[in-house]
Amino acid sequence: MKRRTGFICDESYFWHHVGSSTLFVLPGGYVQADGYAENPETKRRFKNLLERTGLMKELVQIEPRMATKEEIKLFHGEAYIDKVKKLSDSGYGDAGELALVGKDSYEIALLSTGGALTAVEKVIAGEIDNAYALTRPPGHHAEASLGMGFCLFNNVAIAAKYAKKHLGIERILILDWDVHHGNGTESAFYDDLNVLFISLHQERNFPPNRGTVEDVGEGAGEGYNINIPLPAGTGNAGYMYAMEEIVGPITDQFKPELILISAGQDAGVFDPLARMMVTTEGYKEMIKFMLNLADKHCDGKIVACHEGGYSTAYVPFCSHAIVEQLSGIDKGIEDPFYGAIEGLPTNELYTIQKEYVDKAKAIHSKYWDI
């Protein structure tokens, strides 16, 4: 089924620049300068691929608006916001832990959050069916008063709070499939029973002390925070087992009015900052699964916001596959790397992967009928 899929992007997203680095370590001593892990190339090449295949022409291209300071304050403290602006004006600095800021990063981050807000506004208004926001800098690690892991403002958390406060949405599902735990988003809704947060991530990757299966929320939000840490080496089969055994049944009971996805494609098999084995086919299956849930519960209302993904070669194809499914338009693009990965057990469910998912399922059977 063909859908009206919005694509939100701005050239400024690719101009967030924080200088030379080697992955995430500053060069010097014995460390030779290389590329910063969170560089614009993965995102720019994704956009280029959409244009090269012709899919871009069939999307509803939407310019993002800039978020206001008051909107950023829906989650972040004013002192932290002012700190990011000060660092940006000075040209360089760290807004917390591995959250580097460059010249004009503050304004670009406002535009990134604005991209998420624009996507949500358009979907809720019915102007489009769903949307993919190519937001950069990413957001899901950013805490209320601390930048983390390349993230300055928490785009998805702010978009969810905005939808609740201004757009009449009561129940929101946030699915975070970025390979790193969405700690900032978890913090934003840890005691909120109207936002169901589900994170599928590599166990103890980043941040290593967050995202444990025992972290289930607190107060009124107990049971509405669902962490599904997965062992290194998990591929398509392990992720889909988690979707079918936990994400689907709980979503059916929660009945969201809007689904937000923190779409980091760094569980991809070639990613340098993780050790997972998801392929383009895996991402196709995951977004198809979520589209079916959205059709069932919220008239197809899904907004995916780009988070991580650090393989400049593979992220564009994984992300393109997601947008193909969102739009219902198959451009016939085959995975050019299939020959190198066809022998890998990406579609095999190993006992240890099943045990990790089953543990999360057992813990949350206290709160849900699963």
Contact, 185 vs 176, CB < 8 A?
yes
pLDDT of residue 121: 98
**What is the total count of domains within the chain?**
1
Active site residues: 141
pLDDT of residue 155: 99
pLDDT of residue 275: 98
- The per-residue b/e assignment along 354-366, b for 16 or more CB within 10 angstroms, e otherwise, is eebbeebbebbee
Task: Give domain status of residue 34, yes or no.
Answer: yes
pLDDT of residue 25: 84
pLDDT of residue 209: 95
CA–CA separation, 14 and 135 (whole Å): 10
| Pairing mode, strands 302-306 and 130-133 | parallel
In angstroms and rounded to an integer, the radius of gyration of the C-alpha atoms of the chain is: 19
CA–CA separation, 315 and 47 (whole Å): 11
Task: Give domain status of residue 369, yes or no.
Answer: no
Instruction: Please confirm whether the linkage preceding 207 is cis (ω < 30° from 0).
Output: yes
Length of the chain: 370
Task: Give domain status of residue 279, yes or no.
Answer: yes
List CB contacts of 321: < 8 A, sequence separation 6 or more.
280, 281, 283, 284, 287, 333
pLDDT in tens, 344-355: 999 999 999 999
Q: What CATH number should be reported for the domain holding residue 322?
A: 3.40.800.20
Task: Give domain status of residue 166, yes or no.
Answer: yes
pLDDT of residue 123: 98
Task: Report the sign of the C-alpha dihedral through residues 293, 175, 65, 17, in that order.
Answer: negative
CA 86 and chain centroid, separation = 27
pLDDT of residue 54: 98
Distances (CA, A) of 53 to 58, 101, 131, 316, 324: 10, 33, 19, 12, 11
Question: Residue 160 belongs to what domain range?
Answer: 8-364
pLDDT of residue 19: 82
pLDDT of residue 230: 98
Distances (CA, A) of 91 to 16, 37, 96, 150: 11, 19, 16, 16
Task: Give domain status of residue 3, yes or no.
Answer: no
All residue ranges of the chain with pLDDT < 70 are none
pLDDT of residue 26: 80
Q: Which has the closest alpha carbon to 225: 209, 241, 214?
A: 214
Task: Give domain status of residue 14, yes or no.
Answer: yes
pLDDT in tens, 155-184: 999 999 999 999 999 999 999 999 999 999
- Residue 311 is classified by DSSP as -
68, amino acid identity: T
List CB contacts of 226: < 8 A, sequence separation 6 or more.
196, 197, 198, 199, 216, 246, 250, 360, 364
- Residue 67 is classified by DSSP as P
In the block, residue with structure tokens 């926001």: 133
Strand partners, 133: 8, 305
pTM comes to 0.97
Measure the CA angle with vertex 222, ends 151 and 179; round to 5°. Answer: 35
Task: Give domain status of residue 231, yes or no.
Answer: yes
Task: Give domain status of residue 291, yes or no.
Answer: yes
